[in-house]
Chain A
Amino acid sequence: GQNIDQPTEMTATEGAIVQINCTYQTSGFNGLFWYQQHAGEAPTFLSYNVLDGLEEKGRFSSFLSRSKGYSYLLLKELQMKDSASYLCGVMDSNYQLIWGAGTKLIIKP
């Protein structure tokens, strides 16, 4: 079966760095997405990785290792507004998006 695993909840301190991991087992691979979702709102796009390596976008970076079925989202200089759920999604061989359950990130002052 297809499976996406990410931690349920993480806590970090304002100004610090946090890494949210995602492992996946899917039928084929056509890219991995990270989305941010604040409570009650739709997800917003953060990153898309299809090749191995690190993609950096400002305070957020995303890493992919296809051979390991592994990705992480790295958030630097954490701000209170970064408190949200972070969703990892993988596009399989049929171009269907398979979603993880999301990681709730709690930022403390």
Chain B
Amino acid sequence: GAVVSQHPSWVICKSGTSVKIECRSLDFQATTMFWYRQFPKQSLMLMATSNEGSKATYEQGVEKDKFLINHASLTLSTLTVTSAHPEDSSFYICSARELRDSGEAFFGQGTRLTVV
């Protein structure tokens, strides 16, 4: 299957700082990218959907000013957690899909964020 690379795998940051997570599709052009977060023992929760060149569509309850998503190219999307707080500590996962409206989505390896 196609490869989606997410970086970093884990990061520890201080409260109040910002953290950027990158998601790259290595062997295909990702028209659509999804960002999820997962709390321990819970299901994946969709945070936002971004189509290349467009503003991300955020799910209800997700602060768009806190979780900045940029999808400027067909192979790269970034999620920036601004002014991070301990409650933002979670597992963040991206997935990418070649087509806008259909097809299999491939997941990145995930990023474990710990805010201290």
Contacts and interface: CB of A to CB of B under 8 A. Distances in A.
A87 B38 CA distance: 13
Nearest to A42: B110
Contact of A45 (B42, B44, B102, B107): B107
B7 interface: no
**Interface range on chain A (Cβ under 8 Å from partner):** 20 to 34
Interface of B is mostly: loop
Interface string B99-110: 011101111111
A43 B106 CA distance: 9
A102 B101 CA distance: 24
Nearest to A4: B43
Contacts, number: 44
A49 B54 CA distance: 29
A96 interface: yes
For chain B, give the interface size range.
Answer: 20 to 34
Contacts of B67: none
B1 interface: yes
A101 interface: yes
B44 A87 contact: yes
